[in-house]
Structure 1
Amino acid sequence: MSGNSFGQLFRLTSYGESHGAGLGGVIDGCPAGLSISEEEIQQELDRRRPGQGIASTARKESDTVHLLSGVFEGKTTGTAIGFHIANEDQRSRDYSTIQNVFRPGHADFGYDAKFGFRDYRGGGRSSGRETVSRVVGGAVAQAVLDQYGISVMAYTREIGGIEAELADLDGVQERPYFAACDDVIPLWEERIKEIMAQGDTLGGIVEIVVTGVPAGLGEPVFDKLDARLAYALMGVGAVKGVEIGSGFEAARSLGSMNNDPMTAEGFASNSAGGILGGISSGQSIVARVAIKPIPSIAQEQQTVTRDGEETTIRIGGRHDICAIPRVNPVLRAMTRLCLADMLLLQRRNISL
């Protein structure tokens, strides 16, 4: 199976399944001498950990990371960084009744079409649990970004069609759902409880803001910074759309409105989302990510078996009601991985 690695110079390769012994990965290309610890990485993993909040799965995992190589006395050595996270609360029996049935909205049909075989226990490799490896990779990537003063924030703009007003972004990491303001939280919780009672699930929108990116990062043709960032974010399982800056709103705008005027002090607006012609402008990079509803719902759905026989399915087990907020740290991690890779590529090009 290909497609287990992300990045060119700063490269993450992940392994593991939802119901296997554990998950982990190898990070290659990380420069030597950067400060990193298991405790710092664990803080990021704890933000993604299951079993938190009313929208989250009841599965209990500590997601404890163990660094196996590449770090000595709190510093990266310049060699491959290996890490492992054990699975502790698998209940594979929850999936035994659906091993020959395709779950609507899941990757089951595609995996079977591609490989002729699939791990039906929680989706195997296609499970959202695979993203623990990305969060570890993103935490290490941040050590690279720190050398340039780059910060990445991911917060929730919308859940179930209810949008948050942008207000106090300083408190995002401490709020439930990584909400952009306090006022919307009770509205989201009421909506989540309503949908839970119906046996259904919700989607939402996460916004990412990157500050401190220098101008000139990215390539002008196939490796545009926005193209690479969109690729990174679209590689997360629940993501169905990505827009940069004004995004789709630009299609309804005019050039005179969508262009960002330039003054001696800099840009007067940021419709471009910090990227022009595939190259960073020095402004904040702004991206919005559309998250689909979790496909595992406690309602009867029409489907077929592997033999093509029509049947119905009602999915049991333990599942999130909404991928938000657990997907936020994953999107933050993928943004960090993308930027660390692009920075090292830029540094190599300049040194040549």
Structure 2
Amino acid sequence: MRAFVQDGYGSAEVLRPVQVDAPAPADDQILVRVKAISLNARDWHALRGDPYLARSMFGWRRPTFPVRGSDFAGVVDTVGSAVTEYQPGDEVFGDLRDSDGGFAEYVSVPQSAVQPRPANLTFEQAATLPLAGGTAVKGLRDVAPVRPGQRVLVNGASGGVGTFAVQLAKAYGAEVTGVCSARNADLVASLGADHVIDYRKADFTTAGRRYDIVLDLVANRPLRALRRVVEPDGTLVLSGGGTARPGRPYLVGPMGLVIAGQTLGRIGRQRVLLLQTGRDPAMLASLRKLAEEKTIVPVIDRAFGFDEIPEAMRYLMVEHARAKVVVSVSPGG
């Protein structure tokens, strides 16, 4: 099978195609023929080893797992002897965040790492759900549950997580404000945002308006400024973020804001919470249900071919892609 690997840290050009044997599924695993891959900022940070502090997770000198990619959708090819929930031919989407490995034509995963593909979604749409959709659900359903009538601001509303977050906040009955660039304002409004702020023309942290929940997905404002727009009894949810830059990686980068927020925790009644996510079988089931009910509808900016994965990675972070960037996979080209 074809796969893209990275032997060291760097830009998208360090990814190289190789021919390797398809992984053999263990007794409790399934082998999936990948039909679509969704790219995430996490993939870019792992590719660059950026910030340096994150290399404690990715590997200090070189990546522990040389194949990037965690979000995928495809067709079950074979199943291990202990697998009871799936059979060859089943269409699934899944999450590989425990080990990565999604930039390949086949992946071998535990049956708990997948869910049936929602019938109303394409493979490309289904592949966008695990990380981005799961982060939005975790933030606005679990960490800071949205209640009807609350005012919610999403900083980074046109990004992969942001497009899901706007839809969820609106579905939960909130008055939603999205922060993005002017070119993405119509998209964010079409997803349900009641107000859209162009961050190039206005600083939402100095506008004098407060919100019950602020979901920060960008990390481009200091903690003190973010807290200023949160109601005294409101909640600020931090989810890392950060954008690509040329040259050497950051030492700490956007993680500095997260660390500061985690240290602060609670000031009076105001809460500052860190949004941490990981592979969660229950979350995959929730995402499937939300998609089938059309509570969330994936938005795809651009689709690339498998051989274009390096270009897709570059487009994701350097060209300021909006919503989701996906890769369509067809075995053998």
TM-score interval for Structure 1 and Structure 2 normalised by the shorter chain: under 0.3
More strand as a share of residues: 2
TM-score (norm 1): 0.23
TM-score (norm 2): 0.24
